[in-house]
Every structure is written in structure tokens, then in C-alpha cells.
Chain A
């Protein structure tokens, strides 16, 4: 069994032995900010989630690739992550849905991988010292160590421009996605900061979706006269996206807004809040979110390195809290017709518990369009199971 030795070197010099797999980059070096993700299923959705642009994904679950790959599981047109670190890559896929092996998929999309790594040792290291830049590959060790010392992370980096769609496109509403009065279909304009396809699937259940590039001016969005604006997930540091926040500020109060992950952070910033970097982020599908108004606990999928600082949003209601570390899970400003969640109700991968949130967005839009006749009702809180 031919094995090509490779090494993973972190910015602080910590070195791991492994073997090369997937695509082999020309210089034998791949760089990026390294994070770990604890999902046990859904590796293709994770690898193709644009929010990982600029990052190297470590899977804590040791067997990756067991059920192969299939087009239906892609979360965007191609993977944007820099590479993956796994303990063991499956030699052959076994599942009726599979159209190919993960290794071939990685080669096809030029995504390098390193296997045989003690991923638990790596995870414990990142847990203590935080996510950091890292490199891996087949290049000589000293070359890798030099590259690791020079590698940059994602702090202050804007990766949205790399992943957003060049041109606007429309996703038709699924059947049964009628408007509140059943006559007119809702229309949503969705900012694509790295939008996942499973978000489009969920939005199309409640509306027709017009996806626009990340730098589309607010005026152009309003000109489309949407029933609501959606701010998508995306990669990188929210603090580096003032240009995007400005458009959000211009839209607040004029149209109902729902943000997920980066979109939630941009909305929070537009409402006057600030964000901070978590030590190693939340990347997994098993985290508990407390929904404050009902006391229910949702198990939800997470993928973020930054969070909103609750102290920086005095006037805004904190609707959801992550029970593992009390960080902000969701915010709402009822009077300004906008709300956002830090985690992923669309799942892709992960639990379906928080899917009701798309229903709340539909209700918000219907209430907003009905408001011209009557002032916003204080407790206009509709259907918990949207």
C-alpha cells in the first residue's frame, strides 16, 4: 500500500505526521486557518460550505468518506476551503446515493487532504490555544515550518468577495409557498455572502428568492420591492465587511430582514453592536440552543468563529442563547422588523430542530405588508412551528 508521507505544521510550530491524500498542490504546501468540526455525518456539506473559505477543516470523527459523495449534498458550486485533515479516509464508498468517492471529489475540485493525523491531539491543542494559521503538505519539513510561521489567518480578512455570486439569479418558489393571503407569492432578495444551497431550499419553501451579489447597493435591493431581505452566511471576519454593513443599515426599518450566521453578525453590527472572535469557534451539529420565549432547547448545527457581544446591543432582544458557553444565539428588534440567528436552521448538515425560524421570517413579512393598515402589533408573535 503506497503511502506518501506528509506533515501538518501549525503557526506555533507544532508538527503532526500524516500521509498525503486528495489533490496534491504544485508546491506541496497548503495554507489556511485551521479549525475542527465535530459532525459525524455530512462531510460533503461541510467541505462545500463557502463559510470555510480560507480555512483548513479538521474532522474530529475518524472515518470520513464512508458513504461517498453525491451532487445533491453540495452546499455551493465548489468547495472554498483550503484543505481537510482526517484520521482515516475511506478507500471505497458504500451508499446507494453515492456517485463517486470523496478522494476523487477532492482531486476534481483541487482540495488537498492529509490523513493519519492524531486529530484528537490537534483538537485538544486548538481548544487550548485557539484556531490559528497552519500549513500541510509533502514539501520538506523545514519548508513547511517556514510557511507556517508566515501563514495568515482570517482575522480582518474579507473572503466574501471570493465566494459571492458574480451575477444575480432567481430561485423559484417551491409549490405551496403562497403569500399570507394565498394570492401573491412572497419575494425575498437574498444577499449572497457565501450562501449555502440548503438555505435557498428552505427560503424557496416560503418565497421566490432573488439572489444578489454581496456588494449590491441597498437602493438597488429596495428597487426590486421585495417582501423581505435575507442576509446569508459567509466566511471571514465580520469586522472587515463595513462596506456590507452599510447596505444593511440602509435597509433596516424599510423592509423585514432575517440574517443567518455572518448575516446575523452584519445585522447586529448594523443595529450598533460589535463582534468578537471565539477562541476556537463552534463547528458541529450537536450544540444546545435555548429559545428564551418558550424555554425549549434546540439541537442545532453551528459553523462560526465570531459572535455578537451582547453588551454592545442594549436595545436589541437576545432571543436565543448557546447553552454551552452562553454566547448570543439569536437577536431581534421587533420595532425595526428584523431578526437573526448565529446558528444554522437550514442544517445542511445537521439537525432540523430550528427549521421553524424560516416560518417566523414568512410571518414577519406578512405582518410587515399588513402593517400599512394597522400599527405593528406589540406581541405580533406568530406560529411557533412555521
Chain B
């Protein structure tokens, strides 16, 4: 049968910005799909608004449109490119819902575009909870009792039929958005309303809650000849009631007998066939009653999902790659298994190890959230760990999280649990939270029975028994002690996943002593292979994990090797952009004749696709595990060095344990001198580069001394922490005291080691009304400095660079300022002897340039700059770190001059406030965005408007704008308001703002009462749909700054919200440009090839 010859061009839709519940696993699946479709000879057109992804690199598609994922925009792309087919199943829920919107609007029919990989009927049957329930009952599968409602009244009427407790499940959602379990009628009324809001078709299923049952997922695939296979079974450690995305999960299922597993397998095929997914992958979720084995179907996702990425990495079976081939007509037996290269893909992977996935949350970044897990996803990333047993796997996963833990307890972090009495401990672990499993281990270790802990947590007794084993082992270890450890003891304890760090803490010795003693006993790590077949066939693909058994499978290698340390689990401030840099380093260094060796533990990313590097170690990024990989690679061949500068803060922190000669690129010492406050201040002083005045303090008295010298306001933050963690702008002494208290051990930062002399607090004078600038540059060993890109931030300094929009090329900076920025950057790069990338952040206040910080490593903006300028910064940096000069790279054609097409690129941050209704949707110095989007167009206004649309803020072309601004933003407010009025919009405002607008001659239709004052207030207007744009900047400095309710109402009712003066002005400019120019789309390939503007005059827009 083979691939379809009647298709030429295929449109692939990506998943847009990284958000909670839909993260970089879709860059992984989208990249695989694009690669495969082009290998099959199709012309691939890609639409995706996310610049940080590998997929949106021009080399991955024939026409790459970094444009808003909006039905009108996609129609423009379809009209231009005339694709034969649209593949919507590899871009998460965004691509699926967008495809359905295009089908409903008749766009696909109008342009003759065929939907492949899934048809509209199948998507509707899977996503519409009522239709799915009817379909499952029709094929004899049972589902919990439920009823469907489209309005609140309808919902209230149906409650009695179902009976409390119930779960609200909206249609067409992902990541559990809008779901919730209600135990009382009041809770039900509130949750039903929120659920109706969350569903695009305002439909909710009201279903009997079976919280506490066991939850399973099967990843299944089907081809057009109706052959079905199960790729992987997954068992959730956290029972029903905690979203699969927020649960600790294990692959394969551990507690299903064959009779139950085969029944579940048959049911998943019946479900897939009835829903009608003809080709591709699906994730089918089941719940099982632990008391009697009753099995119900929970839901099915008719597309590649977060679990498919986990299943692909857990088994080695590349689901997205195979799904793309199935979509164009291949059957499973016509596709060969990449790993064995001898057997077909029409088989079911078997594994001879255990995989554990543990999510990572960022509750500390969202004050007002409770940290309690439920049916709505809140995690921002996840780690995966592979071990030969569950105990080894879960301990490796816990130390992969980089949250100060050495494993599942047996480290300083366990004290908080051991301090609780039995009742308090059991009550705490009964509530699912981000740290519950540590409490479970503490309970079992102190002798509470498996039955008791099961009663309170509903976690399956098998997992509890395996965890109890750790406590028993630890008791033995404490008794034996370091000196009396025999070879058998070392093997047993390492096989249970105990790290040298845990043992060192247990025996109060340092880690080095443990390693030396262990190695003297002849106990070394052994690396085994992930090969889809439990060693039944010889594996060709080098994909390894560490364990502690007899045989090591890492072969000798010929090419010189470079190890690249990845960035571990996604977190706010360190996400897919750093994975982008590591992946491009693999591509560039492989092309230059090196074997690339990737070390990472994030299952969602392209870097942990075994196809990306020459060799992949799926390992925690901790000193012990990284050192073991280095030893294995030195034994296997000529290790040139280790790249620590591309994965963000995680690998940087490891550079200290590496012998200096192994660190490629900028030296660890130079990196430290940029991070260490004193060395940095001395460097800036020597180079005469102005800094905001500031100082270092370890105690409150030292802090007060600094503020007396530099004056308020000041910026207070811990050193050595990325993403502006725990940073606060402090306006007076009271604020300073509370900020200092927050940073001590008891404060939220206690987990990360708290305050000490080596880890002081940095206090700087806060520069108000300054423009922030980001500069990415590369310096080679010979000293040549290449300025990659200068980005001017839209929001003023004080909004973290990761959360503010920025524009490239800069719009408002003078030529002189640009020259100073370039000079300072070159001087800093030279003084730090940078070899590779450097990112420098400045604040420009009244024409004077101040340097804020220099990061001699890859930054978040590298992918954005590469796509805006056409210069592959990450590739160039990797080659420079491996010794190439910029001149050589120009000669090789790797380094091309920046494009001259004259287009303007705007990057906008995407924030997860809708996932955390309790937190105030306001921007500050601490980064909280999870993803980003990019708008490219002829003018700054058009590009900014596109970036807002891509980020989900649909700027209105008519209607009413509500304005309420802090005094410092009133001037910018006037400028923006003039444009709104000129465009035909009407302005309403609270009295202070209205007064300022009217003084400047701007008409204000109505003065709106403040909250609590008589008369209709802004929240009521927003809730009743009378406001089309909210322009509100916070007045006060506290967490619940005035206007919080207004911003919360805007987020809830999805009314566009602008929260800084600068964003208001930029939005007004965008709306004005959009009024004159019809929305136009361009592919990246066209933009990069476009001639300079003055030769462009002839070109129609």
C-alpha cells in the first residue's frame, strides 16, 4: 500500500506557546512529524506561533509560518499555500480545536483540504463528553453514571440524577481545565459555572466521582488496515482525582494481572475503532475499582499527547514519527523499527526496566495558590527516570527534580516530615500535594503499616511496600556504617537507588569518601540500553540509562566525543529555549565530525529523542550521575569536553565538579565571576560600565546599611538563582524587613538552602521608567565578537525580561545608545574571556546605559533572535565552543549575515494566570511566564498586534476601553487613549484616570466607580460583556495591589488585558496599523530571503 501519492503539500499545525498542560512534548511530536513527512518527499507547510521550538526552525519545513494560531490567520496561510491535507493530531488540543473550527467554518471544503490523521467525526466523538459516553455504552464498555448540561440551570436540575460527590468535566479541554470535584451543592454551583466557561462549546459532563480508584493510561496506535498495537501501559501512583499530568506515573502498569490487562487492551482497541481514529496514536484512560476490579473508561484523546511523549521515551518506540507515516498511508508492518532495524513497527514494545515520571510544579511563584493537586493540571514540567526496579527508578526521579532532594528522603529535606506526629503526618499525606510521596516514605519508615498509609492515601499497597523497603534498607545502612560496608551491601543499596549523596548525609561524611569506598569495593555503575524488545534483538540505537548490575553495554566509539548537559525538567525561567540550544549544538557538532553525547532527564523534549544526538544518556543531572557518564565516555573514546553553557542554570551549577580542561567554551571561573557580585562589580568598575548602585547583605542590618547608601526603591533578591526567583521591589524599610525574612531558611526559599554568607542577598537601586535591553552576542577564542541581536523590551525595567514583550530590531533606541550597548557587550565578553554565547541585560534611563547582569551562557532569547535575524546563533556558539573561529564559520557558510528584509519581530510572553485564579495577574521582577509567541510583520505596530493575538489577547477594533492607571502611567495612558478614540473606540475610566484624560482633551464617556463605592464598577461591566479592552496598571506595591479584582475578572471572562503603560501604547499603535493594513502572512523562508527595504518598494505587501 505505502504512502499516498495523491498528496503533495501537507499543512501541519503546531501547539503554540508552552502552557500548563500543553508543553514542549508537542514540539517533540511536531518536529518528528515534519522530519518524517519531508523524508517521505512531501512539501511541508508549518503554522506555529512559538519561536522557541525546534519545529519552527526554517530547516524543518518548506514554508514555516510563525503566525498566530487563529482560524482567520490559518485560512490566509491555506489560501496562499493551497495544501492538499491538514495534519491536526500532532499539535495538542490547540491544533485539534483549530482544525475543528476550520471544518465548522467550511474553510477546508472551500480550499479542498483533506483532514488526515483524524476526521472531524472522530474528534467530535472523543472530545464531546456526551457523545463519547454514548459511544462507549454502545460498544459495551462501562462509564460512571453521568448527565450533560449546557447551562447552569440545566446543571442544577441534573444533580440529583447523578448524586454527590460529582466531577465537572467540560468538553474540548486539555489538562483538566475547568474540571473539579464537588462534594456540596454550593461547590457544585460554582464549579459548574466555571466548567461551562472553560468549554468552547459550553458543555459539561456531570459525572459520579470515583476519586480513589486506580487510574491507568494505554498508548495505542492504529493504521488504516485496522491493525492496532499497544505501545505502552502507564499506571498512575496518584489515584483518580489527581490529573494524570499532575500524577506520579509508572510504566509499564505494575499491579494488573494478565486477565485485567488484556481486557483493558481489548477495550482500548474497541474504543479507538468506535471513536474512529483511523491512523495514528491515541491515549485511552481507564479507572479500576481496587475492591472488585470494575473497569470504566474515563476518556480518550484522539491525538498524540503528553503521555505519548512519555511512552515514546519510556519504550524507545517513536510514536509521533510513526503516526505521521500512518497518516500518509503506510501500515504498521510497512514501517521498520528504528531501534532494531530488523523488525517491523507492527509489534508491541516490551521493556525490562521500570520508568517513573514525576511532575514539577512552581507553586512558590504563584502566591495565593494552595499547592493541593486535583483534576486540573498545575505542573509546569516533569522528569522521567529509568531503573531496573521501581525503587531505583523513583529515587532517581526524585533527585532529577533539582529541588534540593538527594532521592526519596534520606537528605536534609526529610526533617519537615519527620518532625510531624503520626496523626498530623497521616492527615497531611491524605491530601495530594507536590511533595506528598516524601511524606509517604517518612510514614512507612517510622513503622506505620502499608494498610494504614493506603487507607489515608489510596496509593496502591504494592508501591507502598516497595517504598517501605527503602526505610528498612536505610536502617541496615545506619547500623552497618561506611567502614563496614561490603561489596554485597554496596550493590544492594545502589540497586535500591540510594545516591552517594544520600549515603554521605546518612553517615555524616562527604560524598567523595562514599564514592572512594564504594569503588574500592569494586561497585561501579553499569549502563543498559532502551531497545523496545527487552534484549530479544540486537539494538542499533544508543539510548542508555544507568543501573548497578553485572554488565555494561556502552561500546567503544571512533569519533571524538562532546558531552552536552541538558536543562532537566521544564520550569518557569528555564524551558524549551535551552533545549533548543542543546539540540542545535548536536546538529552543528555532528556535522563537524564529532559524536554528540546528550545527558538529560526531561521526557518531553527533542533533546531526549535518541535520534537527536549520537548517544543519549537518560540520566539525572546531578554531580554523581554526570561524573559517571564522563567516566563511561572517557572509557569509550576520545572525550574532547563537556558543554555546560547551553542548558541554562542546571548544567552551569555542575561546571564546578568538572576538571577545568573538560569545560568547553567560557571557563567555569569566568562564569563565576559574572555571577559573583563582588567580582562582577569590580569588573564593571574596571571597565567603567555604569551599574545601578547596590550592595550585598547576609543579615537585615547589612541590608539596612546598603539601602541607606543607595536610597529607595531597591530591588532585593537571592544570588545564584535564575528567573528572578523571590525578587521584590522594596519601597521602604518595612518592605525590606519582610523581604529579608522571606529569604531565610523558614521562608519559601528554605528548600533551596536559604540565606548564608556564601549565598548572600543582592540589593540594587531600582531604576524607574528605564527601558530594558537584552543583547545576545558570541565571542570566539580569537576575540572576535559578533552581536547576534539587540532587543528593546516593551515593558519598562522592573518587569522581568522573560515576562515582558520585546522587539527586534529596537524601535526607540538612538544610534548612540546602540553603539554604547555594542561596545559594552564586546568589552564585557572580552574581559570575561567568553568563548561562545553571552547575554547582557541593560537598563537605559534618560539616554544613560546601565548594565544589570551578564550571563556568559545561552539565554532564553537565542531561538527568537535566530528566527528574527536568520543567524543560527546556537549552531555558531556550539562550533565556537568546540574551537572554531567565527571567520571559519563564515567561510563554511554556517554563519550567514543577518537578513535585511526590514521586517520587525516582537516576542510576547504567555502567562499561566488562567490556571491559577487565586494569583494576581500582574507582572513584576520575578518571572512567571511559561511560554512565548512571536509576531513578525512590516511595522512594530502590526508585529505587536500579531503577538497579542498569538498570546490570546484579541485587541478589539471597536467597542469600549476601560482605563484605570497608576499615576506614573497616566502620561502613556493619554497617548494610548488618543489613538483608541481616533479608531472609533469609546473610553470609560475611574475618576483619577478620567480626570487626567479629560485634562488632555481626550473624551471619556463615563466615570466608573471604584470597588466598594456606589454605582456600577468595572468588575460588573466586564462580567456583563460591556468592556472590550481592559487597560489597568496596579497602583499599590502590595501583592493584592489595587485593581486585582478587575484583572481577575478580565482573565476569567477572557477580555483582553493590558497591565503596563508601555503595553497600552504599543497595543494602540498595533490597533491603528491593523486598521489600515489587511492582516498579511509571510513564511520565515520568504522573510529571510527578502531583499533590503529600499529594493523592496516594488513588492506588494
Contacts and interface: CB of A to CB of B under 8 A. Distances in A.
A120 B352 contact: yes
A92 B261 contact: no
A123 B534 contact: yes
B738 interface: no
A331 B256 CA distance: 34
Interface string A71-93: 01100000000000001101111
A371 interface: no
Given A41-B257, A63-B254, A123-B536, A296 B225 contact: yes
A275 interface: no
A287 interface: yes
B956 interface: no
Interface string B272-311: 0000000000000000001111000000000000000000
A165 to B, nearest CB: 25
Interface residues of B, number: 61
Q: Is the interface of B mostly helix, strand, loop or mixed?
A: loop
Contacts of B292: 96
Contacts of A1: 472-473, 476
Contacts of A3: 488
Interface stretch (B460-468, B663-671, B820-828): B460-468
Contact of B388 (A62, A124, A349): A62
Contact of B528 (A42, A120, A286, A352): A120
A149 interface: no
Contacts of B528: 120
Contacts of B346: 288, 297, 299, 323
Given A62-B354, A63-B389, A350 B262 contact: yes
A324 interface: yes
Contacts of B262: 41, 347, 349-352
Nearest to B269: A353
A96 B229 contact: no
Interface in A282-339: 284-288, 290, 295-297, 299, 323-324
A258 to B, nearest CB: 22
Nearest to A61: B352
Given A288-B346, A347-B262, A91 B535 contact: no
B256 A67 contact: yes
A62 B496 CA distance: 13
Nearest to A290: B333
Contacts of A95: 255-257, 260
Contact of A94 (B293, B462, B537): B462
Contacts of A36: 536
Nearest to A126: B535
Contacts of A296: 225-227
Given A16-B550, A45-B258, A299-B229, A40 B351 contact: yes
Contact of B227 (A39, A284, A297): A297
A288 B461 contact: no
Contacts of B553: 124
Contacts of A40: 233, 252, 350-351
Main secondary structure of the interface of A (DSSP, over half): loop
Contacts of B535: 60, 120, 123-124, 127
A121 interface: yes
Contacts, number: 166
A97 interface: yes
Nearest to B352: A60
Interface string A32-44: 0000101111100
A97 B535 CA distance: 31
Contacts of B388: 62, 87-88, 120
A31 to B, nearest CB: 22
B618 interface: no
Given A40-B252, A41-B258, A296-B226, A91 B469 contact: yes
Contacts of B730: none
A24 interface: no
A282 to B, nearest CB: 9
Given A38-B533, A288-B344, A347-B262, A60 B390 contact: no
Given A90-B462, A118-B549, A295-B225, A61 B259 contact: no
28 contacts: A1-B472, A17-B550, A38-B536, A40-B252, A41-B262, A42-B258, A62-B352, A62-B353, A62-B354, A62-B389, A67-B255, A73-B257, A90-B462, A92-B465, A95-B256, A95-B257, A97-B259, A119-B352, A120-B551, A127-B535, A127-B537, A286-B347, A288-B344, A297-B333, A299-B229, A299-B347, A324-B343, A324-B537
Interface of A: 1, 3, 5, 16-17, 36, 38-42, 45, 60-63, 66-67, 70, 72-73, 87-88, 90-97, 118-121, 123-124, 127, 284-288, 290, 295-297, 299, 323-324, 347, 349-352
Given A38-B533, A61-B350, A67-B255, 16 more contacts: A38-B350, A38-B536, A61-B352, A91-B465, A91-B469, A93-B462, A96-B293, A118-B550, A286-B348, A286-B349, A287-B347, A288-B343, A299-B348, A324-B343, A349-B258, A351-B265
For the complex of A and B, list the 3 residue pairs with the smallest distance between their C-beta atoms, beginning with the closest: A42-B258, A349-B258, A94-B462
